[in-house]
């Protein structure tokens, strides 16, 4: 069997990668395995729970086979200069522009975590006719409240008018103490 990378030499190195249940295999010769950095892999990889989110996002960002052995451009926000690696380390974006810069990676990670990258909210279990009935009931309550408020305002206006007439009469009859009490009552109602 010939190497899948160069197609010239005999295969003596098999590389298998499993991500989210998707298995990818490559058969390589020694030369290609060395050039890809696979000859000195350390298979005693400890699991770091403190970096779980970063590991998850790294997996979500992997779109090519053998991505860790190819040179990639470093994603960096043009506004705050945060790199993708910094985001993975601390789990927080630097600014609102980071969402645009890292959108492809964030979209795939959100889809893996939540099943979707958009919020759809709660869906009502009410039928359309039930929803219409609820709207009508709410409108009725609001109209009753508005009528009650209008009645109270009309009553206040009537009372203020009566007190103003009493105030004029008290001043005309030179009952200044009564006029001061009436004036204070008018101010109290107007507040």
pLDDT by 10s per residue, the chain, length 191 = 788 888 888 888 887 878 877 888 888 888 888 887 776 554 555 555 445 555 555 554 444 545 454 445 577 888 998 888 888 788 788 888 888 888 888 887 777 777 777 776 666 666 677 777 878 888 888 888 888 888 888 888 899 999 999 999 999 999 999 999 999 999 998 88
Cβ neighbours for 164, distance < 8 A, ≥ 6 positions apart: 186
Q: Are 186 and 164 in contact (CB under 8 A)?
A: yes
Report the phi/psi class of residue 98: left, alpha or beta, with left for phi > 0 and alpha for psi in -120 to 50: alpha
Count the neighbouring beta carbons within 10 Å of the beta carbon of residue 95.
14
- Cα dist. 90→6, 73, 76, 174 in Å? 39, 20, 15, 80
| Residue 18 β-bridge partners | 23
For residues 118 and 120, give the distance between their C-alpha atoms in angstroms, rounded to a whole number: 6
Tokens at 120, concatenated: 């759809």
Q: What is the predicted pLDDT for the residue at 71?
A: 45
Q: What is the predicted pLDDT for the residue at 9?
A: 86
- The count of C-alpha atoms lying within 13 angstroms of the C-alpha of 87, restricted to the half-sphere facing its C-beta, is 25
pTM of the prediction? 0.29
Distance of CA 104 to the CA centre of its chain: 16
């Amino acid at each position: 069997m010939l190497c899948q990378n160069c197609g010239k030499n005999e295969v003596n190195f098999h590389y298998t990668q499993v991500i989210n249940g998707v298995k990818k295999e490559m058969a390589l010769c020694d030369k290609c395995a060395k050039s890809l950095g696979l000859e000195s892999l350390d298979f005693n990889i400890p699991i770091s729970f403190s970096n779980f989110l970063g590991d998850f996002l790294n997996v979500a960002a992997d779109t090519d086979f053998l991505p860790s052995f190819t040179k990639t451009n470093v994603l960096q926000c043009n506004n705050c200069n945060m790199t993708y690696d910094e985001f993975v380390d601390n789990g927080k974006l630097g600014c609102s522009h980071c969402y645009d810069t890292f959108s492809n990676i964030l979209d795939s990670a959100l889809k893996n975590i939540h099943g979707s990258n958009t919020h759809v909210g709660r869906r009502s279990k009410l039928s359309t006719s039930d929803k219409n009935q609820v709207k009508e009931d709410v409108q009725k309550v609001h109209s009753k409240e508005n009528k009650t408020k209008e009645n109270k305002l009309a009553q206040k206006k009537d009372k203020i008018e009566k007190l103003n007439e009493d105030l004029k009469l008290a001043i005309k009859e030179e009952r200044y103490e009564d006029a001061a009490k009436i004036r204070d009552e008018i101010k109290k109602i107007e507040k």
